[in-house]
């Protein structure tokens, strides 16, 4: 049974890159375009790992992570933040919201898959 990864990013290019890297590694990928859409997708999915951007319209990554963590069904799902941000304060804020890890864009597909394997184990 393939593990499922939910990717949340407002960039179509980034979603396509994630889809390619993760499906090549054998994951089932579900996608959302921003935090609001991500929470909608979660109502019908139980992903093994979530990968989210921070800077998105409608609801940013911080709000999305808090939304995920406020739902008992998804309280334990590992969340990796994938962003161009490398600011320590933002990393800290993401951790406080409930993020598991942080990956800076542009990402290395091999390292991304390795990180997902680590947290999904």
The pLDDT of residue 85: 82
CA-based radius of gyration for the chain: 13
d(CA 109, CA 115): 10
DSSP reduced 3-state for 97: helix
Residue 64 and residue 81 in contact, taking contact as beta carbons nearer than 8 Å = no
Tens digits of pLDDT across the chain (121 residues) = 689 999 999 999 999 999 999 999 999 999 999 999 999 999 999 999 999 999 999 999 999 999 999 999 999 999 999 998 888 999 999 999 999 999 998 889 999 999 999 999 7
The pLDDT of residue 92: 95
Q: Is the entire prediction scored with pTM above 0.85?
A: yes
The pLDDT of residue 86: 83
């Amino acid at each position: 049974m393939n593990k499922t990864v939910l990717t949340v990013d407002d960039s179509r290019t980034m979603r396509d890159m994630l889809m390619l890297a993760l499906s090549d590694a054998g994951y089932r990928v579900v996608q959302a375009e921003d935090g609001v859409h991500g929470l909608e997708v979660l109502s019908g999915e139980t992903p093994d790992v979530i990968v989210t951007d921070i800077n998105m319209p409608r609801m940013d990554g911080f709000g999305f992570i808090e939304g995920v963590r406020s739902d008992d069904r998804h309280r334990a799902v590992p969340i990796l933040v994938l962003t161009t941000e490398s600011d320590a304060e933002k990393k800290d804020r993401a951790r406080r919201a409930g993020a598991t890890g942080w990956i800076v864009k542009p990402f290395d597909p091999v390292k991304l898959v390795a990180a997902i394997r680590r947290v999904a184990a």
